[in-house]
């Protein structure tokens, strides 16, 4: 194995090397090359290779995509499933507020730099800030985490006024 370098995906850096057995590049995680699960002795890595080119800046999805997502999501937050525009009592300030539409990168922008419409979902501001730049394998994992954190912060589904 040779041609060792650091592969950069957004701001994430992972060692990557060419495997002569598999005849392809593979990531090295915990000193194991991931293509054939063979131990790999990391040498001094001097090179870096950007795998995903960064776009100029974060962007919102098109208005057409937002309208389509509202229809697909039934005008509800993807994570807590509370309808947008629903009034609720904020747990800390005790003021009446309304759930607002926020565009969330499902795969966080800091990892992928992906501004394509297919990487966006609609979330309320609370869920969007809770999810932040965390990544999940499935939507159910994300929902479970976000709903747990909402409850811990004092947001309760039953106090929403419809």
What is the residue-averaged pLDDT of the chain?
A: 84
Pairing of the two strands 2-9 and 96-98: unpaired
Q: What is the pTM of this model?
A: 0.64
Query: Taking residues 146-158, what's their average pLDDT?
Result: 85
Task: For the chain, give every domain's residue range.
Answer: 2-50, 63-159
Residue 1 has pLDDT above 50, yes or no: no
DSSP 115: -
Q: Which residues share a beta bridge with 17?
A: 26
Residue 55 has pLDDT above 90, yes or no: no
pLDDT band at 54 (very low <50, low <70, confident <90, very high): low
State the CB neighbour count (10 A cutoff) for residue 150: 20
Whole-number Å distance between alpha carbons of 110 and 67 = 25
The count of C-alpha atoms lying within 13 angstroms of the C-alpha of 35, restricted to the half-sphere facing its C-beta, is 14
Query: Higher confidence at residue 43 or residue 160?
Result: 43
pLDDT at 23: 82
pLDDT at 159: 52
Query: Taking residues 58-81, what's their average pLDDT?
Result: 93
pLDDT at 131: 93
pLDDT at 66: 94
């Amino acid at each position: 194995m040779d041609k060792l370098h650091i592969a950069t995906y957004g701001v994430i850096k992972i060692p990557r090397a060419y495997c002569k057995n598999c005849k392809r590049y593979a990531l090295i995680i915990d000193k194991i090359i991931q293509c054939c699960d063979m131990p790999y002795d990391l040498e001094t890595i001097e090179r870096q290779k950007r795998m995903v080119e960064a776009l100029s800046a974060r962007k919102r999805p098109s208005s057409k995509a937002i309208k389509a997502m509202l229809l697909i999501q039934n005008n509800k937050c993807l994570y807590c499933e509370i309808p947008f525009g629903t009034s609720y009592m904020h747990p800390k300030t005790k003021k009446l507020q309304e759930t607002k539409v926020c565009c969330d990168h499902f795969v966080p922008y800091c990892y992928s730099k992906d501004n394509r419409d297919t990487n966006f979902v609609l979330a309320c501001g609370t869920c969007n800030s809770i999810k932040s730049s965390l990544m999940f394998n499935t939507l159910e994992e994300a929902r479970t985490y976000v709903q747990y954190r909402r409850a811990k912060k004092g947001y309760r589904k039953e106090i929403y006024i419809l």
